[in-house]
Amino acid sequence: MSGPSAPSASTKPGTKVPGLSVRDLTASIVVFLVAMPLCMGIAIASGVPPEKGLVTGIIGGIVVGFLAGSPLQVSGPAAGLAVIIFEFVRDHGLSALGPMLVIAGLIQFVAGVARLGGLFRAVSPAVVHGMLAGIGALIVAGQFHILFDAKPMSNGLANLSAMPGRVLGLNFADAHSTEIALGLGLLTIGVMLAWEKFRPASLKLVPGALLGVVAATAVAASLGLQVARISVPESISAAFAMPGTDFFGPILANPAIATAAIAIAFIASAETLLSAAAVDRMHDGVRTDYNKELRAQGVGNLLCGLVGALPMTGVIVRSSANVQAGAQTRASAILHGVWILALVALLPWVLREVPMAALGGILVVTGWRLISLKHVRHLFENYGPIPAGIWAATFALVVTTDLLTGVLVGLGLSLIEVVPHISRLKLGIEQGAHGEARLVRLSGAATFLTLPRLTRALEEVPADKPVHLDLDSLAGLDHTSAEMLGEWLGRRRRAGLAASVSGREEMVRTFAHA
């Protein structure tokens, strides 16, 4: 994804700027407008009240914004966790969500202190994108029923099998709440897609999701339509559920909840750090400190658990809106949390006018966009059938079994790429001079197993010097390492620095357009 042009040295994104800049202020408003409907929609998709998502957005902005290792990343409730939280709440009850999340946050914090952030970057992109695509399919299937003012089924396959019946049961000759709700949901989707396709350049930062919700809400309110609307508490204090004396009772009664905490900690951390890497590709300012970011996420999720909110991750949609809106420092992410808090505290009646079907429409679009066939084509065309097969297997198992099974199988299948290099897994890394450029010479095999070490070495290369990557002695290169090297070379080239590559023809060709 191409980012904005490199800013001047005095205003590099992520650097500290005295006072509050106008660009941070305007960016915070843009992110707030993007975040509001997503926070509520993701909460509903997770099977919890919408205010739980708003509380997570507040903590993700104000608290994690101060502590984050990625200054321009925005944290909040993530669509990628909606399915697993829905199933967790269904099986263990809402009261178990808080203590489970406290444990997950502590795991993340300890992992950050132990400097394990770099390990999550070694997760195969095929696994991550296959997981997100599977989650996207499950979100579409579940939120499809919300469009009809109905509740989702207990699992993804049940949601998929019930979809034809919803459509065949429509009767527009005698329209009741079901048909009316569907009309509002389709209106929301139509406004979103039309705005994103035809919006004028001067208004490109106005989010289509917000306009879709406003349109559906205005129609429902002006015509007095009898459809389900979201429910938020009268008082802001009611949105924060403080822990009771038996807070950890559910975990003591059911140790399986602790297992769920480990799964949430792993998946949330992987999604956060991969999102942070994507945000880094969008600007040329301060790079992410992955261990600091992991500690910040741990604190955020611990607090969300204490007040009974949803889990959080770094989220790419809100983060990319932040960068594209011209944010310069972490002040933008912090302020977006302040705006959410102000709206919930001062104008809760506005939120209670929003039709549930409108939020379902937003989540249908969001889920559909997670199913990125473009990525699996990229894997197949550039790296062959094995990474594409890993993506497909992860996707299929997430949809047909559960999220954790899909991810674990995907990680296991990633080892297939290591098999051809089993006798030479060691990676050699040398640095030196190459004329006026910095030389980085790799030998052996570069696989996801050695990616954290390779990443650390590349981060030590001076950011203001040309670089030459020597792959003549590199016998093997898997797609995870190839993607990372391509991103590293591309970032330097966008900054105006020469970045050359030598080695076997197929390797040089891989990085020619990085």
Q: Indicate the domain borders of the chain.
A: 21-357, 374-420, 425-510
Between CA 130 and CA 485 the distance in angstroms is 21
Q: CA triplet 117, 271, 405: central angle to 5 degrees?
A: 105
DSSP 503: S
At 26 the pLDDT is 86
At 509 the pLDDT is 81
Confidence band of 514 (pLDDT split at 50, 70, 90): low
Backbone phi, psi, residue 403, to 5°: -65, -45
Contact 82, 361 (CB under 8 A): no
Between CA 457 and CA 438 the distance in angstroms is 12
Q: How does the average pLDDT of the chain come out, rounded?
A: 86
Backbone phi, psi, residue 288, to 5°: -70, 135
Confidence band of 18 (pLDDT split at 50, 70, 90): very low
In angstroms, the first-to-last Cα distance of the chain is 11
- 426 torsion bin: left (phi>0), alpha (psi -120 to 50), beta (else): beta
Alpha carbon 269 to its chain centroid, in Å, reads 10
At 4 the pLDDT is 39
175/439: higher pLDDT: 439
Angle, to 10 degrees, between the axis of helix 125-146 and the axis of helix 356-370?
Answer: 160
Amino acid (1-letter code) at residue 467: V
Amino acid (1-letter code) at residue 449: L
CA-atom Rg of the chain in angstroms: 23
DSSP 128: H
Q: What percentage of the chain exceeds 70 in pLDDT?
A: 95
Confidence band of 462 (pLDDT split at 50, 70, 90): confident
Alpha carbon 162 to its chain centroid, in Å, reads 28
pLDDT, tens digit, for every residue of 366-423?
889 888 888 899 899 888 899 999 999 999 998 888 777 888 899 899 988 888 777 7
Backbone phi, psi, residue 386, to 5°: -65, -55
Between CA 291 and CA 460 the distance in angstroms is 16
Contact 70, 280 (CB under 8 A): yes
Q: Would you identify the CATH topology of the domain 425-510?
A: Transcription Regulator spoIIAA (3.30.750)
Q: CA triplet 458, 462, 466: central angle to 5 degrees?
A: 95
At 19 the pLDDT is 56
pTM (two decimals): 0.79
* Size of the chain in residues: 514
